[in-house]
Amino acid sequence: MRIEVLRIGQRLVRDDRVTTHVALISRAFGASKILMYDANPEIKDTLSKVNRTWGGDFEVEIIDNWRRMLRSKKSESYRIVHLTMYGESINDVEEKIRKEDKILAVIGAEKVPREVYDMADYNVAIGSQPHSEIAALAVLLDRLFEGRQFQKKFKRAQREIIPTGKGKRVMDKSTA
């Protein structure tokens, strides 16, 4: 299953830290790409550096028209999964969504316009309490990949962690 993430709307005061975390979660939890509206372009450099060090080919694209992007992804047969606390419970829909081939997960940074709810194939709640797009995205990706995302090998990594119960073990492949 290919999953891309679309984040729409930044707050008036740019929340670059949250933006970065949304991108890092997308990458680390198995998504292939993030499309960001009104985000600081430096995010692309940050994620390129992360890819260089820790591997993989996660993509970041800054977009200027999220409505057009939604329409275009729909025409490419992506199913739109909009994360909102008002949606159907993830517990009730995860099995069905797992059968889809291509997913565009949509998260908001502020109030999400009504048309997103209408365009979505699934409006999905990660619990019916307000929390955060970072947490909601992490849970969605984990439910859809069922934990397998953590076995994924990130190709061409310069550094690879060797999991250990104590301390830190890191293999530096750039000198190996």
Residue number of the CB closest to ligand SAM reads 108
Torsion (CA) 41, 19, 69, 88 in degrees, nearest 10: 180
The answer to whether residue 51 forms part of the interface with ligand SAM (CB under 6 A) is no
Alpha helices in the chain (DSSP H): 16-28, 42-54, 66-75, 90-98, 114-119, 133-145
Integer angstrom CA distances of residue 56 from 32, 44, 73, 117, 154: 9, 14, 23, 32, 4
Phi then psi for residue 150, to 5 deg, are -80, -5
The answer to whether residue 17 forms part of the interface with ligand SAM (CB under 6 A) is no
User: For residues 69 and 109, what is the distance between their CA atoms, to the nearest angstrom?
Assistant: 17
The answer to whether residue 108 forms part of the interface with ligand SAM (CB under 6 A) is yes
Beta carbons of 89 and 64 less than 8 angstroms apart: no
The answer to whether residue 127 forms part of the interface with ligand SAM (CB under 6 A) is yes
The answer to whether residue 131 forms part of the interface with ligand SAM (CB under 6 A) is yes
Residues 83-102 that bind ligand SAM (CB under 6 A): 83-85
Question: Least CB distance from residue 21 to ligand SAM, whole Å?
Answer: 12
Q: Which of 107, 120, 141, 157 binds ligand SAM (CB under 6 A)?
A: 107
The answer to whether residue 129 forms part of the interface with ligand SAM (CB under 6 A) is yes
The answer to whether residue 6 forms part of the interface with ligand SAM (CB under 6 A) is no
Per this entry, what is the length of the chain? 176
Nearer to ligand SAM, 70 or 107 (CB): 107
Question: Least CB distance from residue 141 to ligand SAM, whole Å?
Answer: 13
User: For residues 34 and 58, what is the distance between their CA atoms, to the nearest angstrom?
Assistant: 8
The answer to whether residue 116 forms part of the interface with ligand SAM (CB under 6 A) is no
Which two tokens mark 152?
Answer: 């994924």
The answer to whether residue 114 forms part of the interface with ligand SAM (CB under 6 A) is no
Judged by the rule CB under 6 A, the positions of this chain that interact with ligand SAM are: 83-85, 107-109, 111-112, 125-127, 129-133, 136
